[in-house]
Amino acid sequence: MMERSSKFLSISGMSGVMAGTFAILGAILAYFVLIGKFTFTGNLLYDLILIATVVLISAVAVGLYFSARKAKKSNSKLWMPVTLEIAKDFSVPLVSGGLLSIILIYKDVYFMVAPCMLIFYGLGLIAAGSRTFRDVKVLGACEIILGLAAAITGGYDLIFWGIGFGILHIVYGILIHYKYDVKSEKNG
């Protein structure tokens, strides 16, 4: 009972899988935009921002959907005081990283945008991780390591971005699904 009120346990593994799938699809679209095979707006930067925005909104929407569904199945609420605390913990690094990414784009330092996104997203996950499954912190650490590797190597930003937001989320989602979702379905 105490763990239920102090920790957010409605994270669904399927939301991680879907978010990762959206990220991989976004990375593939971005690749075709970058090589000039496809455009939405006729402007490379606008196209990439549009793709990233659609991926983000889709991932958040599917995450909320699957988390609400899991909360309902376990007779708990999605919106609890701990949910607000997680949002606060997560948003400070995420907003800071988003603003820094915008500054990097404005200053034409494009090669650091993907590393910045990965690192600050990882910091957000670690900050929020104490209020949910420990696995969230592990995912955060992996995102940070990947972001640092992307910053060192340069030139492979889209690949690192796809691995971090795509493959890592799919792997994380599968692990969460089998570790917590299937387990709770068997017990429930």
**d(C-alpha 126, C-alpha 56), whole Å:** 19
Residue linked to tokens 């340069």: 154
pTM confidence score: 0.88
Give residue 124's domain range. Answer: 7-187
Biggest CA-to-CA distance, the chain? 55
In a domain? residue 112: yes
Within-domain flag for 1: no
Give the model's pLDDT for residue 34: 93
The domain total for the chain is 1
Per-residue pLDDT at 2: 43
pLDDT < 70 regions, the chain: 1-10, 183-188
The reply to whether 2 falls in a domain is no
Helix (H/G/I), strand (E/B), else coil: 157: helix
